[in-house]
Amino acid sequence: MELETLALQEKNEVMLSYNNDQQFLQKFFDYPYSDDSYVNRLQELEKRTIQRQQLAETIQRFMTPFGISTHAQRHIDELADNGVVVIGGQQAGVLTGPMYSVHKAITVILLARKQRIELGVPVIPVFWVAGEDHDLNEINHVYTETNGRAVKNQYYERYVMKLTASDTVYDQVQMASFVKSIFGNFGETAHTKNLLHEVLDAVEQEKTFTNFFVRLMNHLFQSEGLLLIDANFKPLRLLESNYFCRLINEAEPIATLIAKKEEQFVQEGFNAPIQSAENAAHLFYIHETGRVLLTREQGDFVNESAGIRFTREELLQIAERKPWLLSNNVATRPLMQEMVFPVLAFVGGPGEIAYWAILKDAFHHLDMKMPIIAPRISMTLVTPQVKHVLTEKSLTVEDVLLGKIKDEREKLIGELRNDQLDQLVDETEQLLIEQYEKLQQLVKQQKMLLTTELLQKNVAVHKNQLNYLRDKAEEATLLKYDPVFRTYNLLEGELNPNGSLQERIYTPYAYLNDYGPELIKDLLGLPFEMDGTHKVVYL
C-alpha cells in the first residue's frame, strides 16, 4: 500500500470555513479542531456525571450476540470505569453501505488510539448505528461498477409501514440471492469464496437491516475493539428515559434556539441544514403505522396525519414507562449522545458537521458543551489495474477527480471526427434544401396539387436520414477507438463514479474482494494525518 495526500479544492463551504475560519468556529462550535482542545475537553468531561456502569452493561448486552473480542471487552470495562469515547455513526446500509461508513470507523479508531497515547487515559472507539432511521430507500441498495458506470442494485422488498431499520425484517432467501448477485458483479478472485461465505453467514444469522450491518462491521473491526451500539436498542432507550424527559420539558426553548441559530447560519451565507421550525419537537414517536415526527401545538405534541396528540404530561409518562416508543431526530440525536456518553470527540462527515453547527446554543441550554468535532478521513482506493491505466495515460487521480477525463474525451472525439465526411453531408443537406426551395416555387407557379406541408415533411425525412448518417459515422469512429474510451470510462467509473467521490458510492466489499481480508488492518496501519486533505491509497 502507498499513501498519497491531495489538497483538493474544497467545494463544501461549511468544511471550508470549518478548516480555515476561526470566527466561524467561535460562533458555531465550542472547541477549535486542535490538539490543545483535547486536554480542555477532558477537563470538561471530568465535571460531568455519566451512567457509566449502566452504559457499559447496555453495550455489553447489545454486542454479545455478535461476539465480543478481548480488545472490545477491555474497552467496555474501561468505559465502566473512567474511559472517554471518540464516537461516530451511520445508517445501517446493506453490505455496510457506502465506503464512508468504514472510513468513519477508521477515523474513530485512529483518533481514539492517538488520544489514548497523548492524554494518558483510556480513549475508546464507539460506532453508533442509526437503527432508528426509517427511510429504507437510503440503505437498501448497493452500487457496482459495470463497464465504467456505477450501477444501482436495489434490494426489492415492499414495506408498507415506516418501520425503523432495526425493526424491519428482511427475507433471508431474497437477501442471500441479492448478495450473491452483487458478488457476481464484483467478479471472481482468490478472496471471493471466503468473503461471500462470511456475508451469507451474516444474512442467515440475522433478520433485520441493522443487525446485518452490525454483524458485518463487528467482523471487520473486531481486532480493533470497536464498540457498537444501536440507537434503537431497547435497553439503551431505558437508559435514556430521564434524558427524553429533559428533552420534552425543554422542547420549546431547544426548538427556538436551534431555529435562531440556523437563521444565523443562513445569514452567514450557508444553506439551512435541517430547516428547523420553532414549533418543532425534534422527537419521533413509534406509532402503529410506523415512525412519525412530532411537532408542538398549543402545548401538546402532535402528528396530525397519524391522528396523534399527547399532552406534555402524557408524553413524559411515555418517556418514563415506555421510552422505546420515542426516538431522536437529527437535532436531538447529538444532544442525547452527549448525555449518554462521555464524548471526547465526535467524528462526522460534511453533512453532519453542517447540522451540528446549529446546535451550540441548544447544548448550552442543557448545561453542556459541544464535543470536539473531528472531520472523518476522506479517501479514494486505487486498484493496481487503475494505477496502471493512470500511468499509461499520464494522468493522476487528481486529474480524474477534477473532471479532466471529460476534457480528454471531448478532445479525442474532436481529433477523431471525420471533417471531410461532415463537410460532404453538410453540402448535401444544403443542396437538398436549395432543390426543395425550387420545387416549392415551381408548385406555386404551376398551381400544382401539392401542399407546402407535404414538401416540408418530405424534406424533413431526408434531413433525418442525413442526421442518421452523421450519427452512424460517429458511432463507427467511436467503435474503432472503443478501447481508448473504455479506458476513460474505467477511470471515471472507479475513481469518480457519477461525478462523486468513490467513497460515497461503492461498498468496501468490492475492494475487500480484490485486495483480501487484510484491507481494513492495512488501512489502519497507514500514517494518516487528520488534516482535512483527501487521501489516495494505492492498493
Model pLDDT, residue 358: 97
| pLDDT-wise least confident of 229-238, 299-308, 437-446 | 437-446
Given this model, what pLDDT does residue 479 score? 63
340 pLDDT above the threshold of 80:
yes
pLDDT tens digits for range 88-120: 999 999 999 999 999 999 999 999 999 999 999
**Strand-by-strand arrangement of the 290-297 sheet:** 308-310, 300-303, 290-297, 280-287, 326-328
Please report which confidence band the pLDDT of residue 444 belongs to, taking 50, 70 and 90 as the band edges: confident
Q: Is the pLDDT of residue 418 over 60?
A: no
452 pLDDT higher than 60: yes
Q: What is the pLDDT of residue 294?
A: 97
Q: Across the strands, what pairs with 338?
A: none
Could you state, in order of their start, the residue ranges of all structural domains in the chain?
240-339+349-371, 404-495
177-186, 201-210, 365-374, 432-441: least confident range: 432-441
Residues 229 and 236: beta-carbon distance below 8 Å:
yes
Alpha-carbon distances, residue 78 vs 33, 84, 230, 241, 270 (angstroms): 25, 8, 20, 24, 40
Average per-residue pLDDT for the chain = 91
Q: Closest Cα partner for 215 from 233, 198, 237? A: 198
What is the per-residue DSSP string for 58-71? HHHHHHGGG---HH
Return the closest-CA partner of residue 162 out of 66, 48, 293, 251: 293
Strand (E) or helix (H) holding 374: strand 372-375
pLDDT above 90 covers a percentage of the chain that reads 73
Name which residue leads in pLDDT, 265 or 288.
265
Q: What is the pLDDT of residue 404?
A: 86
More confident residue, 121 or 11: 121
What is the band of 193 on the pLDDT scale with cuts at 50, 70, 90?
very high
Say what angle helices 192-205 and 209-221 make with each other, to 10 degrees: 140
Angle CA 176–179–180, to nearest 5: 85
- Read off the pLDDT of each residue in 39-64 and give the average, rounded to a whole number: 96
| DSSP state string for 445-501 | HHT-S--HHHHHHHHHHHHHHHHHHHHHHHHHHHHHTHHHHHHHHHHHHHHSGGGS-
E-only strand ranges, 61-136: 84-90, 123-129
Residue type, 298: Q
